[in-house]
Amino acid sequence: EPEPSASSSSGPTLLPMPRVIRVGDLDQYAVSPALVEYVKRVHEGVLRIKTPKGTGSGMHWGNGWVLTNTHVLCGKNHLDPSVDMSTISIEVLDIDSNVIETFGGHHRLAFVVDLGLGDRYSDLAMIKLGPQLEYGRPEEAWHQWEKEEREKISKLPALVGESIRHKATLAADDQMIVDAQDGNGVALQRHIASFVAAALSAPVFPIHYGNGTPGLPKQISEPGTVTHHTPWTHFNHTSHTRPGSSGSPVFVGPLPQDGSYALLGVTQSGNIADDRDNTALFFFSFEPLVRSLMHKYGRLAALKDLAKSNAGVRDLVAPHIEQAQRVLTAVEANHNVYVLPPWGCMA
């Protein structure tokens, strides 16, 4: 049995945190109150994804976009995505692992990216909840389910705002920001790299839906350490990762800079036999690419929707559609990007 931890005379004796626990039980163990408060703030942004192939984890990026792994949706053959998005359900669980919202049963905009990092899983998937077009489509043209989902996603934390890149940028001095806005971002990039390098000495932990527990509750793993990293693509860590954890966010903290917490990466694979060999992608390594793709797909969809619904502007819009498609085709070819069929809003 583990030895009880030291406690104050005014409070109960708390045991050390086990390898994996339910998120709602975190305050029953000897962990920092700051960690408990942080997890309470962000945990509803960690989503459970159910598919005909199994269950995985994901996170709410923001504005209804959900980030997970392609192999969560499509199985191991992530280079041949063909999943029917209407068979996918995405659940929001409260801190006690009760389902409080469900998104499912609709064709959605979704795309996948194979980052080509070798024999490790290096695949990302983005799924759009709520309104399916980012630009130009009037609210009265939305389906009823899109309107209902918009209300649901308005309550979810946007975890992109927790990213370590975002936190490092906030900590940069004003001149770095001005220089970056003027096209000279070298100093800012060096600052971000230095900030992240220092953060790698802090504990890391995923919040996930590993399938080792009946009912697939929302869980948090005991904080571990970064054992190895490949600048700046992926890292290995010792915080316990179970099957079903793929796509889960990996947080880091308390940071040496200010004692806060941040989103460091996304779980890609785990090694049940050896917890020193769990692999995650650095979030900031793919954040700019994914953000750009979200914008480009949304713009192309809006242009096509406008041309389809308004014959009077069809000829005017056509060149812009062609240009947007050319840009996307080039990006897709360079980064192994695929759109999952059927794209409901493009039908």
With contact defined as beta carbons under 8 Å apart, do 211 and 244 qualify? yes
Q: pTM score, two decimals?
A: 0.88
pLDDT value, residue 2: 42
Instruction: Kindly give the residue spans of alpha helices, DSSP state H, lying in 4-45.
Output: 33-42
pLDDT value, residue 191: 92
CA distances from 172 to 53, 164, 238 (A): 44, 12, 30
pLDDT value, residue 347: 35
pLDDT value, residue 8: 46
DSSP annotation of 15 reads B
SS3 content of the chain, % helix, strand, coil (to 5): 40, 25, 35
Tens of pLDDT along the chain (347 residues) come to: 444 444 444 567 889 999 999 999 999 999 999 999 999 999 999 999 998 878 899 999 999 999 998 888 877 655 566 678 888 899 999 999 999 999 987 888 888 887 766 555 468 889 999 988 766 677 887 889 999 999 999 999 999 999 999 999 999 988 898 888 888 889 998 998 899 999 999 999 999 997 655 567 899 999 999 999 988 788 999 998 888 888 999 999 999 999 999 999 999 887 666 666 788 999 988 888 888 888 888 778 778 777 777 777 888 888 888 888 888 888 777 777 877 765 543 33
94: Cα within 13 Å, side-chain hemisphere: 4
Q: How far apart are CA 180 and CA 262, in angstroms?
A: 23
pLDDT value, residue 7: 45
